[in-house]
Amino acid sequence: MTNALTVAVVQSAGVPFEPDASLETARRLAEQAAHDGSKLTLFPEAFLGGYPRGMTFGATVGRRSAEGREWYRRYHGAAVELDGPQVAELQRISSDTDMTLLMGVIERSGGTLYCTALVIDPGDGLIGWRRKLLPTAAERVVWGQGDLSLPPVVRTRHGQVGVAICWENYMPLLRTYMYSQGVRIWCAPTADDRDGWEATMRHIALEGRCFVLSSNQFSKRSDYPPDYPLDVPSDEVLTTGGSMIVDPLGNVLAGPERSGEAVLTATLDFDEIARSQLDFDVVGHYSRGDLFTLKVSTASSDLVEQDDVHARQGRPKVARSATAARSQTRSEQHPCTRGD
């Protein structure tokens, strides 16, 4: 593990509702990032499967429509399974480019969909994944809730890498927990292109004394199926992106990009983390564990548990490094946190 690392964030919508076509885009952009020297690349939230922007799925209080149910069937069919061919192809892309991939997907597990982030190592394959803890607003109609049995910080060949999906970044207790796990690369796949998002990313970098990577889609109405129920001109921009990379003192190293599809790169100097901690360590010398405590449950919220953890529904075996990270998450709690 070196003290410098070139990383990239991808800004692209992929092809909503068409995961195989999105994989072609993913390979093209991953190869571009690798050509630019990246060894770790972050893709946006819901890159595979699609972010259903503006979709109601025919659901209002007390009513659901037949048309909305059919759109859910299509969305469900476009989601990926963790042991399916799309994830296998992502592992090939990671291996072919010799690059760690962090990929936002819509995960299908039985009848439930999750907004999920995958961590894929070029040698070990899928080493970690996690589901968004709490979908935001109308996302709750179609996405289930995650838990912390799938750790938000994973030990990779580049050190501790954390993933907080979109508005999870506004959950201060989750942030504290992730800081306590020694995160040094904070990845924020998102669907939020508001101006305030830049301030959020810079705040987290300053607060956590870590590097922050944020990746968002740049999408137009024309990226979605022709019959998608969103009545706006085909060339109308639905989200402008705003992808960026920030250092531990809140300085922007790349972005925010708002002009279109892009791959942004920056070289991280990990010595900057120690330099930044001279005057602030939010879970160390600038914390008061005698006054504040945080209790964290890493128990699974699965309805049915079996003795073999790998027999849990929707949880395929992962590489050893992910298991090690999960073990660390359970056993190496910071003094300001309390595990179950």
Residues belonging to the active site: 45, 132, 166
In Å, how far are 65, 228, 244, 261, 273 from 70, measured between CA atoms? 9, 12, 36, 30, 49
Residue 303 φ then ψ, to 5°: -65, -40
Q: Are 263 and 225 in contact (CB under 8 A)?
A: no
- HSE-CB at 211 with a 13 A cutoff on CA atoms is 30
Token pair recorded at residue 102: 């962090």
Q: Which two tokens stand for residue 277?
A: 């901690």
Q: Which two tokens stand for residue 60?
A: 């209002």
User: DSSP string spanning 266-300?
Assistant: EEEETHHHHHHTTS--TTTTT--TTT--EEE----
Three-class SS state of 46:
coil
At residue 285, what are phi and psi to the nearest 5 degrees? -70, -10
What is the DSSP code string of 68-80?
HHHHHHHHHHHSB
Tokens of 70: 């059919």
Q: Could you tell me how far CA 316 lies from the centroid of its own chain?
A: 19
* Length in residues, the chain: 340
Q: What is the Cα–Cα distance from 264 to 22, expressed in whole angstroms?
A: 19
